[in-house]
Structure 1
Amino acid sequence: MTTLILIPARMASTRLPGKPLADIAGLPMIVHVAARAAESGLGRVVVATDTEAVAQAVRANGFEAVMTRVDHQSGSDRIFEALSALDPEARVETVINVQGDLPTVEPATIAAALAPLADPAVDIGTLGVEISREEERTNPNVVKVVGSPLSRGRLRALYFTRATAPWGEGPHYHHIGLYAYRRSALARFVALPPSPLEQRERLEQLRALEAGMRIDVELVASVPLGVDTPEDLERAREILSRKA
């Protein structure tokens, strides 16, 4: 499959304004994410942004950027615009959406999201990690995936929720919002209106499930650090300074 990795990046973060350009070990955060994506070896890597300063920083460090509209409601909408601009002849078969605030993500973790698409019945691949810390089970900021086991390392997603689910004895899984789409699935997804459960839970991926699309979840060992707060940024700086 021909794969394009797209990294949506916008400057309008409420908790950490301007975070794509936040300095980490001498480079903007968005450049670290692009480098990790390139190291996966899966295909072309492009940052999709609505801010010229982000595009300039990405290009100055040897990576590709494409400008997108400022009024997108989600990263999925932004990457679909980018895909349409970058590949108007529809040669790309799969698109990986890597969040622009994952500067320490492992290349193997990015590749894991693509694995479920080896099954032609799967529309979207994503990632999960078994929860080990009790407080995460009840934290509404930790999105859980409820799924039917397909193998030791994979689930078929039945629901995503901020609640503690499923009930009873057994594991719970932390969802990682990194997605691999078949091109046709991404086009279908962005054409759908927001769904009732999506709006209630504030989880975009429920739109796909409510429309009957299939999402499979590859289980990985750990949750990559997402930078949402100044404290997260300092942690990322510590981690990547050690690697520099």
Structure 2
Amino acid sequence: MTVAALIQARTTSTRLPGKVLLPAAGREMLAHQIDRVRRARRVDRICVATTVNATDDRIVALAEREGVAVFRGAEDDVLDRFARAAETIAPSLVVRLTGDCPLIDPVLIDDAVALLQASADLDYVSNGLEPTWPAGLDVEVMTIGALRLAAAEAVDGFDREHVTPFIYRHPERFRIRNIRCPEALSDHRWTLDEPADYELLRRILEALVPADPTFGWRDVLALLAAHPDWVSINRDVRQTPNPHAP
């Protein structure tokens, strides 16, 4: 059973252009994310799904430098781009990640994949259907069959932009499961969307990567407990509504 992790990434961001290429601890944010996904033991292949825009040539160059697959597709129809990228690998299970999550935890990826692998009754597993985890640790895993149906049948613009709503908004057709965080941590923001987010993530990566590049989400919590003032860096950034919420 082949498991492919697909990372959606592009350089066009209105609030923080080129955010996935910003540096921290000697590497680009997207490179850090690839490093972390590589540590997921249940992931067989990694692919960066970007756009055909010339501005994303730098993302293609980074993916090639890092030795991972890359697919280029439509900017606006993200579901089509994502599904076509998956078809180049034709895995049994697809892990969806967005390129603004450089702290993504490989253990959370493995946990979600394992849950789906263990049950023939599930089509989709996520840790984002309820707001319990820090923003930036979002993982979705789905069967290739569920993804194909979504790509073929979704017509709503929201569904095409956010890739997976067609699946989790139709529980009568797809069997879904959510993974809750053991602690209530949804007030933490570890995603990259604003300059303040970058400042916080840069500090976290530069503090943790040199000491132990295999750090997990609990290590991030411990670091923030030791530097409580860091939490306020992006506290005023308005949280983007979670597209995974039912």
Which residue in 2 is equivalent to 1:207?
166
* Structure 2 residues not aligned, in runs of 5+: 211-246
Greater shift, 214-223 or 15-24, is seen at 214-223
- Among residues 180, 191, 197, which one is paired with 1:226 in the alignment? 191
1:17 maps to 2:22? no
Equivalent residues of 1:115, 1:218 under 8 A apart: no
Equivalent residues of 2:150, 2:164 under 8 A apart: no
| Offset, 1:195 | 4.7
Which residue in 2 is equivalent to 1:46?
47
User: In the TM superposition, what are the counterparts of 1:1-244 in structure 2 within 5 Å?
Assistant: 1-42=1-42, 43-50=44-51, 51-60=56-65, 62-74=66-78, 76-85=79-88, 87=89, 90=90, 92-117=91-116, 118-128=118-128, 145=130, 173=132, 177-195=138-156, 205-208=164-167, 209-210=169-170, 212-221=173-182, 222=185, 225-243=190-208, 244=210
User: Of Structure 1 and Structure 2, which has the larger fraction of its residues in strand?
Assistant: 1
Equivalent residues of 2:47, 2:71 under 8 A apart: no
Equivalent residues of 2:190, 2:197 under 8 A apart: yes
Equivalent residues of 2:5, 2:47 under 8 A apart: yes
Amino acid corresponding to residue 99 of structure 1 in structure 2: T
| Offset, 1:203 | 6.5
TM-score of the superposed pair, with normalisation by structure 1: 0.70
Q: 1:53 to 1:203 in 2, by over 3 A?
A: closer
Equivalent residues of 1:40, 1:108 under 8 A apart: yes
User: Of Structure 1 and Structure 2, which has the larger fraction of its residues in helix?
Assistant: 2
Equivalent residues of 1:68, 1:81 under 8 A apart: no
In the aligned structure 2, how far is the partner of 1:186 from the partner of 1:111? 19
Amino acid corresponding to residue 235 of structure 1 in structure 2: L
In the aligned structure 2, how far is the partner of 1:66 from the partner of 1:189? 22
RMSD between superposed Cα atoms in Å: 2.5
Equivalent residues of 2:2, 2:93 under 8 A apart: yes
Q: 1:96 to 1:55 in 2, by over 3 A?
A: same
TM-score of the superposed pair, with normalisation by structure 2: 0.70
* Structure 1 residues not aligned, in runs of 5+: 129-143, 146-171
In the aligned structure 2, how far is the partner of 1:78 from the partner of 1:220? 30
Equivalent residues of 1:52, 1:67 under 8 A apart: no
Amino acid corresponding to residue 185 of structure 1 in structure 2: A
State the SS of the aligned residue for 2:5.
Answer: strand
Amino acid corresponding to residue 80 of structure 2 in structure 1: D
State the SS of the aligned residue for 1:68.
Answer: strand
- What fraction of aligned residue pairs are identical, expressed as a percent? 27
